[in-house]
Amino acid sequence: MEKWVYTFGDGCAEGDASMADLLGGKGANLAEMCSLGLPVPPGLTITTQASNWYYANKMSLPQSLKTQVMQAIETIAQITGREFGTGDNPLLLAIRSGSRASMPGMMDTVLNLGLNDQTVLALAKQAGSERFALDSYRRFIQMYSDVVLGIDTAFFEEVLDDAKARFELDQDTDLTADNWRIVIERYHELITEESGSPFPQDVNEQLWGAIGAVFSSWMNRRAIAYRSLHNIPESWGTAVNIQTMVFGNRGNTSATGVAFTRNPSTGENRLFGEYLVNAQGEDVVAGIRTPQNLTEEARIAAASDKVSMEKLMPDVFAEFGNIARRLESHFKEMQDLEFTVEHGKLWILQTRTGKRTAKAALRIAVDMANEGMLSRQQAICYIEPSSLDQLLHATIAPSAKRNVIVTGLPASPGAATGRIVFSSTEAEQLRNEHKAAILVRTETSPEDILGMHAAEGILTARGGMTSHAAVVARGMGKPCVSGAGGMRVDYQTGEMRILGKVYKTGDIITIDGSSGQVLAGTVPMQQPVLTGAFATLMEWADKTRRMEVRTNAETPHEAKTARSFGAQGIGLCRTEHMFFDAKRIAIMREMILASNEEGRKTALDQLLPFQREDFVELFEIMSGQPVTIRLLDPPLHEFLPKLPEEIAEVARAMNVSEDVLRQRNESFYEFNPMLGHRGCRLAISHPEIIEMQARAIFEAAIIAGEKTGSLVVPEIMVPLVSLTRELEYVKKTIDTVATAISSEAGVQFEYKIGTMIELPRAAVMADKIAGSAEFFSFGTNDLTQSTFGMSRDDAASYLPDYERKNIIESDPFVSLDLDGVGELMRIATQKGRSAKPDLKIAICGEHGGDTASIFFCESLGLDYVSCSPFRVPIARLAAAQAAIRYKS
Amino acid sequence: MEKWVYTFGDGCAEGDASMADLLGGKGANLAEMCSLGLPVPPGLTITTQASNWYYANKMSLPQSLKTQVMQAIETIAQITGREFGTGDNPLLLAIRSGSRASMPGMMDTVLNLGLNDQTVLALAKQAGSERFALDSYRRFIQMYSDVVLGIDTAFFEEVLDDAKARFELDQDTDLTADNWRIVIERYHELITEESGSPFPQDVNEQLWGAIGAVFSSWMNRRAIAYRSLHNIPESWGTAVNIQTMVFGNRGNTSATGVAFTRNPSTGENRLFGEYLVNAQGEDVVAGIRTPQNLTEEARIAAASDKVSMEKLMPDVFAEFGNIARRLESHFKEMQDLEFTVEHGKLWILQTRTGKRTAKAALRIAVDMANEGMLSRQQAICYIEPSSLDQLLHATIAPSAKRNVIVTGLPASPGAATGRIVFSSTEAEQLRNEHKAAILVRTETSPEDILGMHAAEGILTARGGMTSHAAVVARGMGKPCVSGAGGMRVDYQTGEMRILGKVYKTGDIITIDGSSGQVLAGTVPMQQPVLTGAFATLMEWADKTRRMEVRTNAETPHEAKTARSFGAQGIGLCRTEHMFFDAKRIAIMREMILASNEEGRKTALDQLLPFQREDFVELFEIMSGQPVTIRLLDPPLHEFLPKLPEEIAEVARAMNVSEDVLRQRNESFYEFNPMLGHRGCRLAISHPEIIEMQARAIFEAAIIAGEKTGSLVVPEIMVPLVSLTRELEYVKKTIDTVATAISSEAGVQFEYKIGTMIELPRAAVMADKIAGSAEFFSFGTNDLTQSTFGMSRDDAASYLPDYERKNIIESDPFVSLDLDGVGELMRIATQKGRSAKPDLKIAICGEHGGDTASIFFCESLGLDYVSCSPFRVPIARLAAAQAAIRYKS
């Protein structure tokens, strides 16, 4: 016969903490505490299996369950010396849900079960307080009617309000026993009216009603929605915990409270919590009375005049403190406790791992390791790497009031306040006036780079988590909210409309890139702190990890930021971003629109010094570390003039008619630019472009090497290779430039040539391609696009539907698709290393900063990951965790 | 010591026909003929290895070669009883190139070598004709000076013309011995003037000069260009053949000629050729005299008054006929022969496989099989499948004069003449007037489908071999020239400009889709004949092949055509092509632009009867054969109105403002539509669309089944699947419709659901996807695009550069990339069958009609290939050849 019921109490228990799947989190921990000899009100847990049986059998319960429950209640009655539904000392029960994962407040609870018109009299006598007994009874009736009988609580509120008006009383606590007796009588009538039958006096009927209601609540709307949000499978089911009631509302030696073993905001190792004298748990939650501090220290800090528990009940407080420490070191985790004191006797009602801020988590992990509670490796694994994001940016103060006007995607974390601008020009103008701007665009393109640099934050109406705006903003470490679909931008009038409301150029807004919210006006902020526990944990992580962490950076600012965040080099410098400066873009356009190679060369000669200077600066900043430079990648039309005045300007500069220019412009049009004339395809049709780039790189390496006294070995990366001969051709072109410069300058220098693996063909041909490559770097953005045949810029129109309909688990542009894209990476790694065992292999797509993806990279044995500067600490931690996981 | 020289003559030879790599094609066959005892002038072949040695050693020759050549010359001298450079009977030599592959006229030849001021006297005496000897000498001097000394032939022409003027003579043949003596004297002076030294009198110097010149000519411009055009590797090198001279110009018992063992135009089994009495080979080539017929029959047919060889030299003719038959049955190939008759003695100078038309090739293959010369399998392998294309379409008569105005890509074979139109409307109008139209567009889109149907042929300025125009035209079997870059189309003025010349609407042009040429005006045509040898060979192929051949067809016309070409079902019916009809497109647009599901459903209800009727017709035409229907694939914006009048019309029909419609229109814009919201992604966001399609298919299957009395089992194909759950979702939707219809109609019916494998992710996940698929069909167009990350619509801007720079061997959209795309197909096939051993797997991309790709499909063990109707015969033949190749 299946065991449906597990009892606990009196220092022993049938279950333990490891059985959360079967007993739920709460039930498993109650059993564990009981076995530890802690004061837990005796009770029983009905397994999650029973919940599944319930749903598999038309919401009925197995007979064997009923027998087991009744036996367990008998045991509890014996332990407590009470009787269920009868006698002088009636056994009252609390019925609570308890699933494997915490689902706070989503399911139902019934307290004080076992009271009826008879037992309430016995309770009054036994407790020596008629008022207490009647108050408990009416609470039970209200709760039971709501949860089990489905009668709207508003009816009961109305009765109570009527009574208070009639008795001319303000607070529930002001009602006397007689008052309550009248209220309860009215409750009984109400129930008969609403449900057609009287309130059940049979305590067993009460019990089975409550158990059924808890099981049913697993499928209520809130619970279903919560599970869907948190990816909790329906099949897990819920357990039911049935426990002896204890009362915190039996006078001034009774109390109830919640506590964290450490401060959940700061992580400080001090007991942190609140309590209320003479109250039940629901009173704390309801917020009718202001809770009191647990400790004297906290009371003083809060300048509260309400007595602390430490002062009021020093013995109980000391016992609680001991229990809290004991539970923390038992579970090796900061605990979140619920307790009740009944007539000076402490009862622990729940313990679980406490939620905390990222900052607190860091401090706790480091402290626990220093205290010897955790090893350093455990401390490293203790922190969710992505939670560090909160620490690296200014954020909206938790206390701030949020006037949300629209919500988009949390595209790049951190918050920023500034004036709305709709163009790069305006953003730059405001920066010159030392005013903060938020750049608002329908979507951004490479032309907006300067404006993005000048602005404090970026807001777009279109585009996903990996849209241009999102990727570039993350790279810059600027807050960004993308794809705020509820917003319409009108560049002509300089307005954006949200739900009919108009926001104009110059209006102040705040964007929260961590939540996706856009707020009206200014909002208080808090600044990041990267010393202390953060620095310590990062140091431990660095000693533990096998993979290196580099950064994707092209500006000096990004490179410096990344280095300060611990980057070990640049893994991806996108050279195209260097051409959008006003001076350069004009020359770039002349180069592209030149009608022959000579014209292109003339323009390229002008670009050379700029490009060289860029590289010199980067090499200096990254001195002693490797710098990987990707050759020009995007299709040339991304650089072309689009606005009439730009076309006019370029036409003037080139001394051709605007019509001719417009026609040449059009000849660059592509149906699918992502699959177009870009990457190494440009290098092959216009070798003069990469000749210029190679020259700039080598000359810069020589100059920077002399300046810093440290040899620069540039790594040149060829994008979008699919054919072996593409790489061979580009390599030959670069080698020729290197030879020429070497003899011009009379110096020898070293460099490496490698390739992006970002097309499926490159992945399956990796053994051949490895022949000409000194390193591989997975460009997982493009690889994901081509493997899925899915443009990340266009996917927003159907991906949400995909997630809703459960077709895909997560956006593959955010979290690497291990099955498909990962399989191609596995093939490429295996083939590449089969041809060249010491081939250096890395990842430099957006996924390089994603924890799950980094774990996958470790499992493949990659050499390094490269990510945007603000993801570097995340990657360092994730790489350490991955090294621990995959340590052979 | 390396053997550089192979001799032949007097019935024995050191080489044979299998040694073409070493001896070149000519040398190997001369050796073979010699061993067969045929009358071949004795000689020697210097190997292609010597040519490679020559280039590897600064254009010098190994000493051992010189020794071997001199020994071989000695042997020849002994056989012929002559002496080289001396004596009464001087040995004269012909020095000819001869590479592994035929490179007609690309390299150099020197004849009559061995003549000098002394030997010419001996020759005169020996031949009994001073004039003959001097004529031979002056020819030698001219040729040698051109080829070896590099003196412009124009100088010699001038001397000769001067002389003829002086002697008042018209023809070279009119010159007497004395005249020639004067000319030769002047030649000698000329050479000394131009080269600084006199004409070499040392015959050995002559010989080595000529050998060096032939080797050098391997790297002349013409040869390099020819090799690049025909993919002949430089490393093959050329052999040099040195043979005893024989003379066809020693009077009326001498002659020279060329012959084919069968008619190269028709394939008829009759000797076919031309000869000239008293002439040398170069005279036939020079075309100064009109050649005579070989056979009496041909002379009569040509109504020639010049005597045939059969009549003039009956014995020699008979001997030649025997030799021709003997060579043909020896090589089992139609032969192309060169011969010379010297004083009534026949000499064979060359034999090689004869070039022929596709029509002739078919007839020859079938005849040879029927004659027992070839097995049927050999006959099948005898024909290059793609050559059948010539036979299936009307083509420009070979004799026609071609006034080419521009050249594009040969996108769809066949030729068509018609009036220029620039829009579908005009094309339809002309069709209604029973006039032929050529639809001219910058590029076509699905909107042009009706115009393409109405026109006789399609001409576009942009787009490659697999552009929309090309693919659709091939599907329709209409001639198409695409990507004629030299042409500019102006829709507004109704003009196209080519090199400054203007062609207007209504002007007549002819397009040749087999060559890519566009011709002015009308041109004579010839019509296809598909009976006789064609039908016989196809029947043999059908009995031999393992793979089935289906067709890609959506219109009744295409389906009928394909069936008449032997298709065994439809492998791909693209349903989107069914929505462009004027009546339907309006409803389609309403459906797409509807603001909610209800609006879409209303429009879909109107489309249902059309779609059902389409399928009923297709099922009827294909009765008894499988029909695979692909669900809607392209992004919806392809259907949207673009022109202002169209927008106005749709707005009216939908009762919304044009502005609203324009905005909705814009919301469908995609950056990369190829990677966008299309394929099964549409089915998932708008299941109502495929519900309509599934309903139409099933209802049509029931109706057509009843009409034809033959059960229809539709195969429904889901496009663009990359995730297992996409297919599961669509399958579930279709199954639900099927269940509903089954109960509505009260009948049971069968159907199959499968998927395209056209994305790399689908290929690597094929084992999982196979779980929900009853068949796979490789969509190699999309698979190539996504594997390479290369849009076929945009590749024209760099692919030509790739081919020129030898980065890629051929357009992967035309010939399947076996290494990359093929590897993914191999993975998919292996994984798919590992999960479901009897999974039916096919190909339905453009490559389904490409010979090399079909061979690859056979090697993978695919079940069928599907291609456009006009490729069906090609596929049938290629599949048969592939089955023979891979027969275990």
Interface touch A684/B798, C-beta < 8 Å: yes
pLDDT tens sequence across A656-683: 888 888 888 888 888 898 999 999 999 9
Provide the greatest CA pair distance for chain B: 106
Query: Phi/psi at A3 (nearest 5 deg)?
Result: -85, 110
As a whole number of angstroms, the distance between CA B506 and CA B420 comes to: 5
| Residue of A790, A810, A813, A818 to mutate, interface with B, max B Cβ within 10 Å | A790
Which secondary structure element, helix H or strand E, spans residue A130, and what is its range? helix A130-144
Could you tell me which chain A residue has the CA closest to the CA of B760? A787
Burial (CB count within 10 angstroms: exposed 0-12, middle 13-18, buried 19+), residue B319: middle
User: pLDDT-based confidence at A284, cuts 50/70/90?
Assistant: low
Phi, psi of B26 (to 5 degrees): -65, -50
| Residue A447 predicted with pLDDT over 80 | no
Interface contact A671-B794, CB threshold 8 A: yes
Q: What is the pLDDT of residues B476-512, one digit of tens each?
A: 778 999 988 888 899 989 999 998 899 999 999 999 9
A772 lies within 8 A of chain B by CB: no
Which of the pair, A530 or B417, is modelled with greater confidence?
B417
Which segments of B696-743 are extended strands (E)?
Answer: 715-718
State whether residue A787 sits within 8 Å of chain B by CB. yes
Q: What is the arithmetic mean of pLDDT over B673-680?
A: 94
Q: What angle do CA A731, A734, A736 make, to 5 degrees?
A: 110
Residue A605: its H or E element: helix A597-621
Distance, CA of B839 to CA of B643 (rounded, Å): 46
**Cβ partners under 8 Å of residue B702, min gap 6:** B712, B741, B745, B747, B749
What was the pLDDT predicted at B611?
Answer: 95
Query: What is the β-pairing status of strands B335-342 and B255-260?
Result: antiparallel
- Tokens 């790694």 -> residue: A829
More confident residue, B569 or B101: B569
Question: What phi, psi does A365 have (nearest 5°)?
Answer: -60, -50
Give the model's confidence band at B103: pLDDT under 50 very low, under 70 low, under 90 confident, else very high: confident
Q: What is the C-alpha to C-alpha distance for residues B714 and B838, in angstroms, rounded to an integer? A: 19
Mutate to test the interface with B, among A791, A793, A794 (most CBs of B within 10 A): A794
Adjacent-strand bridge partners of A352: A336
Tokens of A714: 């540039």
Q: Is B790 on the interface with A (CB under 8 A)?
A: yes
* Beta-sheet strand order (sheet of A487-490): A487-490, A495-498, A501-504
Q: Compute the mean pLDDT over every residue in chain B, rounded to the nearest whole number.
A: 92
Catalytic residue, from B480, B573, B680, B844: name it: B844
Cβ of A660 under 8 Å from any chain B Cβ? no
Contact present, A123 and A92 (Cβ < 8 Å): yes
Tell me, what's the pLDDT at B651? 87
Tokens of B46: 């210097």
Instruction: Give B-chain residues touching A681 at CB under 8 angstroms.
Output: 798
Q: Is the pLDDT of residue A376 over 70?
A: yes
d(CA A887, CA A878): 14
Q: What is the pLDDT of residues A521-551, one digit of tens each?
A: 999 988 887 889 999 999 999 999 999 999 9
State the nearest Cα–Cα gap between A754 and chain B, in angstroms.
18
Burial B770-806 (b: 16+ CB within 10 A, else e): bebbbbbbbbbbbbbbbbbbbbbbbbbbbbeebeeee
B-chain residue closest to A669, CA distance: B794
> How much is the pLDDT for B324?
97
Q: Is B169 on the interface with A (CB under 8 A)?
A: no
Q: Does A807 touch chain B (CB under 8 A)?
A: yes
pLDDT band at A595 (very low <50, low <70, confident <90, very high): confident
Residue-wise pLDDT tens digits, B195-250: 999 999 999 999 999 999 999 999 988 888 788 777 788 899 999 999 999 999 88
Residues B426-458: tens digit of each pLDDT: 998 898 888 899 999 998 887 788 889 889 999
pLDDT tens per residue, range A765-820: 999 999 999 999 999 999 999 999 999 888 888 988 898 888 998 889 988 999 99
Nearest to B521 by CA among B402, B413, B431, B397: B402
Query: Phi then psi for B312, rounded to 5 degrees?
Result: -75, -40
Return the closest-CA partner of residue B336 out of B274, B391, B429, B252: B274
- Nearest Cα neighbor of A195 from A151, A143, A158 is A151
Q: What is the pLDDT of residues B311-352, one digit of tens each?
A: 999 999 999 999 999 999 999 999 999 999 999 999 999 999
| Cβ <8 Å between A794 and B674 | no
Determine the Cα angle at A251 with ends A248 and A256, to 5°: 25
The verdict on whether B480 is a catalytic residue reads no
Gap from B490 CA to chain A (nearest CA, Å): 13
| B805: closest chain A residue by CA | A684
pLDDT of A573 strictly over 90: yes
B844 counts as catalytic: yes
Residue A757: pLDDT band (50, 70, 90) is very high
**Whether residue A574 has pLDDT greater than 80:** yes
Distance from CA of A231 to the nearest CA of B (A): 17
Element containing residue A585 per DSSP (H, E): helix A582-593
Q: Which helix (H) or strand (E) holds A843?
A: strand A840-843
- Cβ atoms A854, A879 nearer than 8 A: yes
Residue B729, token pair as written in the block:
């979702």
Query: Partners of B756 in the beta sheet?
Result: B777
Determine the residue type at B178: D
Contact check, Cβ <8 Å, B789/A817:
no
Long-range contacts from B585-589, C-beta under 8 angstroms, 24+ separation: B585/B447, B585/B639, B586/B649, B586/B650, B586/B653, B588/B639, B589/B639, B589/B640, B589/B641, B589/B650
Say what the pLDDT of residue B299 is: 92
Measure the CA–CA gap between A209 and A197, rounded to whole angstroms.
Answer: 14
**Which distant-in-sequence residues (6+ apart) come within 8 Å of B280 by Cβ?**
B111, B139, B247, B248, B249, B256, B340
Distance from C-alpha of A798 to C-alpha of B729, rounded to nearest angstrom: 14
In this structure, the strands spanning A292-293 and A5-9 are unpaired
Show the tokens assigned to A729.
Answer: 């051709």
Contact status of B826 with chain A (Cβ, < 8 Å) = no
CB of B804 less than 8 A from some CB of A: no
Instruction: For chain B, say whether A670 makes contact (Cβ under 8 Å).
Output: yes
- Burial (CB < 10 A; 0-12, 13-18, 19+), residue B110, is buried
Q: 3-class DSSP state for residue A872?
A: helix
pLDDT over 70 (residue A466): no
What's the confidence (pLDDT) of residue B797? 82
Task: Evaluate whether A109 touches A97 at the Cβ level (below 8 Å).
Answer: yes
Q: Does pLDDT of A288 surpass 70?
A: no
Q: Is the dihedral of CA B477, B479, B483, B489 positive or negative?
A: negative
Task: Give the pLDDT band of residue B671 (cuts 50, 70, 90).
Answer: confident
What phi and psi values does residue B340 have, to the nearest 5 degrees?
-140, 140
**What number of C-beta contacts closer than 8 Å exist between A and B?**
166
Catalytic residue among A453, A468, A577, A686: A468
Q: Phi, psi (5° rounding) for residue B866?
A: -130, 135
pTM across the whole model: 0.82
> Distance from B11 to chain A by nearest Cα, in Å?
50
Cα-flanking dihedrals φ and ψ of residue A509, to 5°? Answer: -135, 165
Give the model confidence (pLDDT) of A39-59 as tens digits.
999 999 999 999 999 999 999
B615 SS3 class: helix
Alpha helices in B196-241 (DSSP H): 203-217, 221-230
**What pLDDT, in 10s, does the model give residues B356-365?**
888 899 999 9
DSSP codes of every residue in A726-786? HHHHHHHHHHHHHHHHHHHHT-----EEEEEE-SHHHHHTHHHHGGG-SEEEE-HHHHHHH
- Strand order from edge to edge, sheet including B487-490: B487-490, B495-498, B501-504
Q: To which residue do tokens 């309590």 refer?
A: A275
Distances B94 to A388, B13, B241 between C-alpha atoms, Å? 86, 18, 8
| Closest-approach residue (CA) in chain A for B668 | A797
Q: Which residues of A touch B786 (CB under 8 A)?
A: 760, 786-787, 789
Residue type, B50: A
Out of A576-590, B586-600, B696-710, B805-819, give the one with best mean pLDDT: B696-710
Q: Which of A729, A760, A819 is facing B786, going by the closest CB pair?
A: A760
User: What whole-number distance in Å separates Cα of residue A867 and Cα of residue A886?
Assistant: 21
Count CB-CB contacts under 10 A for residue B15. 24
ipTM, 2 dp: 0.81
Name the minimum distance, in Å, from the CA of A678 to any CA of chain B.
10
> Which candidate from A723, A726, A789 shows the least CB-CB separation from B782?
A789
A678-737 residues touching B, CB cutoff 8 A:
681, 684-685, 720, 722-723, 725-726, 729
* Closest CA of chain A from B23, distance in Å: 32
A408 CB burial (10 A radius; 0-12, 13-18, 19+): buried
**Length of chain A as a residue count:** 888
DSSP, collapsed to helix, strand or coil, labels residue A822 as helix
Interchain contact, B720 vs A789, CB within 8 Å: yes
The token duo for A225 is 């929605």
Tell me whether B801 touches chain A (CB under 8 Å): yes
